[in-house]
Chain A
Amino acid sequence: LFDHQSGSDDSEYESDVEEDLDDVQDTNVGGASRYLAGGSDSEDEELRKRVVQPAKDKRFEEMVSTVDQMKHAININDWVRLQEYFDKINKQLEKVMRITEAVKAPILYIKTLVMLEDFLNETLANKEAKKKMSTSNSKALNSMKQRLKKNNKLYEEEINKYRQSPETEEVKESDDADTEDDDIDDCVFVDTESEDEEADDKGDPSWEKMLSKKDKLMEKLYSKDPKEITWEWVNQKFKEVVAARGRKGTARFELVDQLTHLTRIAKTPAQKLEILFSVISAQFDVNPGLSGHMPINVWKKCVNNMLTILDILVKYDNIVVDDTVEPDEDETSKPEDFDGKIRVWGNLVAFVERIDTEFFKSLQCIDPHTREYVERLRDEPMFLALAQNIQDYFERSGDYKAAAKVALRQVELIYYKPQEVYDAMRKLAELVVEEDEEEDSEEPKEETGPPSSFIVVPEVVPRKPTFPESSRAMMDVLVSLIYKYGDERTKARAMICDIYHHALVDNFVTARDLLLMSHLQDNIQHMDISTQILFNRSMAQLGLCAFRVGMITEAHSCLSELYSGQRVRELLAQGVSQSRYHEKTPEQERLERRQQMPYHMHINLELLEAVQLICAMLLEVPNMAANSHDVKRKVISKNFRRLLEISERQAFTAPPENVRDHAMAATRALTKGDFLKAFEVVKSLDVWKLFKNRETILDIVKDRIKEEALRTYLFTYSASYESLSLDQLAKMFDLSENQVHSIVSKMMINEELHASWDQPTRCIIFHDVQHTRLQTLAFQLTEKLAVLAESNERAMEARTGGGGLDLSSRGRDNNQEYAGGAGGGKWQDNMSYNQGRQGYNGGARSGYGGNRSSGHARDWSGQNRGSGGYAGRGGTGNRGMQMDGTSRMVSLNRGVRA
């Protein structure tokens, strides 16, 4: 068919045609005749548009010609004319917009604006040229300045976008070619571009041309006789090169090269410094996207440049780096022995932070199973050396705030390293430096080509990081500096890292005290996502630490929240878990990916799960046995109960394979009081090899299992016995008599077990407090009545209290999102030390009313009193604790939506 061959490669169009074919069902009519008859709707549309096209083209052409004129005016520095053309193009813009019905201004216009703005700035900066201008010209210049400013404000966003990525903008634009307009736009654009170049070629040897002819510039740069080079000349060249930055068609690498060359021929240290700053900025620009990372070799060069900057700063201590004041034009011309301060614009902290971020990003992007990743990790000492030097410099110059910021960056590289890894890094650092020295000795040979630099800066600053013996010592030094001088966020992050590190080295009590003293749990909700993740991670680590030192209850309360929503991966930023219920938008996904932790920082999830489940088992099994008549009432770990239910539902139980199966198998054994089997199953997990002192930890676990088995046994079978002898129990559970005595006594005092000792015969005598069937039923009835009354009250509250019910149901669905904003610090209560949380009982909680009382809420009035409150504890009386409900773990989605 003609249509098919006519080159319309639009598949939709094709299918349309085929449909048409079916519709018409007339094989006699040729393709051409159908075409004429206008059988195809889309074709019709096409036709209409084609008619319109010329009109649009015309408008565009007008605009293009105006732009050309403007360029000419720019070349001859004629501001009067420029002003006229500016009016003209604005009018034309209106017309074009009206015709194309576009919302956004065409890219051509934006480009013109950018060009104008740049030229304006250039002219304003060039004071000498300004003086030479005629009065009318300078008048026009001034009015243009005002108007352009006003005008550009309207298109601020587009301009910024364009400036950031002139090319991607184009690509995007053409990608969006869902409408005909854009196609036109684009083709016009291409036209102008070619004209653009032509214009450049035609024009005088202006600075613009020099840009497009980089080779020439480079040639000029390199070939310039060293004797002729003056400060002014270098400065001028520098300005030229910098002006090209971010401009379309400027190759970023070449820009870096040019600038690097300029640093070699810089005349004064200050100038060298200024140019070096630009080099680094340009190096940051090499990779424009947010997702990718900076090429590694560029990163290394960047670090070296930073070190050179430091060399200069340390050697010439009259040079000050500052980004608050705009320095004078010829500030950098001051010679090195200038008496007084030389100010150079720049921000060292920002650079260091950027370098660190790039390092982090590169680790995020590189596949952790490759050699490249390991190689990349070896660069860490390099950064640490830089950071240490910068921190030193800041401390010497008294800028402690900046020093604290840099210190934080170091802390964040150290905090997750156990002593072994830290030692490895120390050794590596020494090795790396030796290698570097070898490389350094080779380098000068390569550099013989270009003229050697005028300002030779010896390496004043050490290129090697210094590490104290233990990672703890290093952390202490850094962290105390931060606590003293850091701002709020820096302090909070440092504190979390500190907690993490304390937990890592089994310092549970210190870590816990730090956590409570800092009130982080109360404020973490208001912090940024990455800090929240850090907090989650340190909670996980704290849980592992508590487990290692045998504090099962504490470990459980640290970890249970992580596992309450089955989103551990997300909460720890160690991968993404797919949720069935809501799809993530691509934007969310991208955001999440940017937060991911590099592989070497990961906490082993299997280990974490094993610890969590075993803790839950040790607490939950006796608890279930104690409340066998109404299982639902007291739930310690919802997650564990759910898993148990699932495993119980299975008809056949296979031998355990994963962590979860193991935990369930152990639970089954423990429920029967078979501690040996339970322990064997737990022991057979291979994640334990990740613990350093595996044997002691397993011993602790074994003891705990025995204890809980005894308790479970007593709860379950006490009804069947009149008395039990102490020795028998001790033998049964392989415990010492003292231990059994202590455990049983505790149960008696807490009224968990209705029994008492008969001292002469060393027996437990059980009191027959088994309720009769009638009594049990009566108790159940009273409880149901209480529930009924409560639900009545809630229903009432919902009606009269203005949507209380509504809130509660929403609270339940979204409790991840609400993330415990009301401050129901679960693990605080659980671990029985509260801090002063005066705001705790405030109105913020009312929204959770329904949620709280939905059958899981209870008051552990006995448990909730504690120490560790460092700002006073108000209202001991009614601090309830929430078993489910508001999770304190921090949600990622919340941040994304907010």
Chain B
Amino acid sequence: MEEIKENYDLTPRVAPNLDRHLVFPILEFLQERQLYPDEQILKFKIELLNQTNMVDYAMDIHKSLYHTEDAPQDMVERRAEVVARLKSLEEAAAPLVSFLLNPNAVQELRADKQYNLQMLKERYQIGPDQIEALYQYAKFQFECGNYTGAADYLYQYRTLCSNLERSLSALWGKLASEILMQNWDIALEELNRLKEIIDSKSFSSPLNQVQNRIWLMHWGLYIFFNHDNGRTQIIDLFNQDKYLNAIQTSAPHLLRYLATAFIVNKRRRPQLKEFIKVIQQEHYSYKDPIIEFLACVFVNYDFDGAQKKMKECEEVIVNDPFLGKRVEDGNFSTVPLRDEFLENARLFIFETYCKIHQRIDMGVLAEKLNLNYEEAERWIVNLIRTSKLDAKIDSESGTVIMEPTQPNVHEQLINHTKGLSGRTYKLVNQLLEHTQAQATR
């Protein structure tokens, strides 16, 4: 257990790249998994909450942590302070909020931002100050844990805001709110919007931009492993050059998620080869069972090693807040990703194994696949039937025999020479053109 905690728990590396509020789900998960003592997590939670305005929640935790009924004095004071501030902000934002609550008035808004601002100013006396107040109010709402309200206000704010920086931070806020409300579809939209802005915006320094990308990827983890299409999306995002670079420079631990996505996702198999190269370079800077598994299968061809790694991978997945999501199914809960991962990993091993073998003993194969003999046979027969594997089973000797696939010499020769005639033809044409041009000159 200790070992797992030390080696595979990424929370300390992930958390600094997240918003305070986004850390809570992770802490909840850790609490559930019992990796750390409860007290430690509760203390950590309070520490987190101290910087936010969720004072009530903090009080509750405090009570359960120290088993008392009294909240400490400073928390009570802080609560009063927060309430007062909320009031004042509410007042400041009131004109705009009331305007937005009025459906008739909202209909007057058009797509044209300039027009809207003009209109608001003339007819409702709402100027930049009020709009700014809305932002502050939304931010405060977010910090109080009222994500729905924050998301709504931030959405409205963005339609009215003219400051680019502010708009960006509003977008971050919106994304966080949507993630926390688990609206994965909307969150994904927001994520893509943010990505576009980050990619197109000119940052004061490249470092800044990289940092923004890192944040985006970390936040995206929530979405990708919950959204239906997330596993393709994560590859599409992380595997872009710019983002891969960012991962390599600043956050190699993200490779775990990318590797997992690659293993469970069949659709992005062509890019896997490239990814293996990245892994080879990065194995100096970051170690992870999932990555080591890939290295075993595709770099070292160490199938026994891969076998061992698979077991470690299972541990990692179950204990990872993003990967180890549980689905309650009747009485017992499963981790869908784990099953998927194991199935695919097995396939990986088998495929590669077959590629370099001519004859394999079924018993050994079954062992390698973590299956019993019967299951293994069924599994292979299925593969052969779906023509995924060009092989035959020799049940007398209990072996699988691969069909040799040798390239035809004739074909090779034709391939080599195919281009020649075209090239020559082109060359002659070029020559003719040239001589004609010379003649006319």
Contact = CB atoms under 8 A, between A and B. Distances in A.
Nearest to A833: B281
Contacts of A833: 281
Given A749-B301, A783-B416, A832 B241 contact: no
Contacts of B423: 789, 793
Contacts of A759: 357, 359-361, 364, 399
A786 B416 contact: yes
Interface string B387-419: 000000000010100101010010011001100
A815 B30 CA distance: 61
Contacts of A796: 427, 430-431
B282 A867 contact: yes
Contacts of A738: 302, 304
Nearest to A748: B356
Given A789-B424, A871-B206, A873-B241, A782 B417 contact: yes
Nearest to B413: A778
A757 B434 contact: no
Contacts of A800: 430, 434
A868 B417 contact: no
Interface in A874-898: 874, 876
A832 B356 contact: no
B221 interface: no
A779 B301 contact: no
A725 interface: no
Interface in A752-794: 754, 756-760, 765, 767, 769, 771, 775, 778-779, 782-783, 785-786, 789, 792-793
Nearest to B423: A789
Nearest to A772: B409
Given A789-B420, A793-B423, A865-B277, A872 B356 contact: no
A872 to B, nearest CB: 5
Contacts of B352: 749
A702 interface: no
Contact of A793 (B358, B364, B402, B427): B427
A745 B349 CA distance: 13
B416 A832 contact: no
B413 to A, nearest CB: 6
Contacts of A769: 406
Contacts of B409: 771, 775
Interface residues of B, number: 44
Interface stretch (B83-91, B138-146, B243-251): B243-251
B112 interface: no
A758 B302 CA distance: 16
Contacts of A792: 424, 427
Contacts of B277: 832, 865-867
A849 to B, nearest CB: 16
A758 B361 CA distance: 9
B268 to A, nearest CB: 16
A746 B355 CA distance: 11
A757 B412 CA distance: 25
Given A745-B301, A767-B404, A757 B356 contact: yes
A832 B420 contact: no
A448 to B, nearest CB: 60
Contacts of A789: 420, 423-424, 427
Contacts of B397: 760
Contacts of B242: 872
Contacts of B355: 748-749
B285 interface: yes
Interface string B360-386: 110010000000000000000000000
Contacts of A517: 249
Given A741-B301, A756-B356, A832-B281, A867 B244 contact: yes
A658 interface: no
Interface in B277-306: 277-278, 281-282, 284-285, 300-302, 304
A870 interface: yes
B364 A779 contact: no
A870 B364 contact: no
A865 B249 CA distance: 16
A760 B424 contact: no
A784 to B, nearest CB: 11
A742 interface: yes
A775 B411 CA distance: 12
A799 interface: yes
B361 to A, nearest CB: 5
A785 B420 contact: yes
Contacts of A757: 356-358
A598 interface: no
A869 B242 CA distance: 8
A177 interface: no
B328 interface: no
A509 interface: yes
B274 interface: yes
Interface in A849-875: 865-874
B352 to A, nearest CB: 8
A54 to B, nearest CB: 69
A734 B357 CA distance: 24
B437 to A, nearest CB: 9
Contacts of B285: 509
A867 to B, nearest CB: 5
Interface in B310-365: 352, 355-361, 364
B306 to A, nearest CB: 12
Interface in A778-830: 778-779, 782-783, 785-786, 789, 792-793, 796, 799-800
A874 B242 CA distance: 10
Nearest to A776: B409
Contacts of A874: 241
Nearest to A743: B301
A742 B302 contact: yes
A503 to B, nearest CB: 15
A749 B301 CA distance: 9
Contacts of A869: 241, 245
Given A742-B302, A869-B245, A756 B274 contact: no
Contacts of B300: 742, 746
A854 to B, nearest CB: 18
Given A779-B416, A793-B423, A868 B356 contact: no
A786 B420 contact: yes
B17 to A, nearest CB: 18
Contacts of A799: 434
A793 to B, nearest CB: 6
Given A782-B416, A796-B430, A872-B241, A746 B359 contact: no
A344 to B, nearest CB: 37
Contact of B413 (A758, A779, A868): A779
B211 to A, nearest CB: 13
Contacts of B241: 836, 869, 872-874, 876
A430 B434 CA distance: 79
B206 A867 contact: no
A758 B359 contact: yes
A868 B359 CA distance: 41
A775 B245 CA distance: 46
Contact of A868 (B248, B360, B434): B248
Interface in B221-277: 241-242, 244-245, 248-249, 274, 277
Interface string A714-747: 0000000000000000000000001001100110
Which of A757, A765, A778, A867 counts the most B-chain CB atoms under 10 A from its CB? Answer: A867
Interface of A: 509, 513, 517, 738, 741-742, 745-746, 748-749, 754, 756-760, 765, 767, 769, 771, 775, 778-779, 782-783, 785-786, 789, 792-793, 796, 799-800, 832-833, 836, 865-874, 876
25 contacts: A513-B249, A741-B301, A742-B300, A746-B301, A749-B355, A754-B406, A756-B358, A758-B357, A759-B360, A760-B359, A779-B413, A783-B416, A786-B416, A789-B423, A789-B424, A792-B427, A800-B430, A866-B278, A866-B281, A867-B277, A867-B278, A868-B245, A868-B248, A870-B206, A874-B241
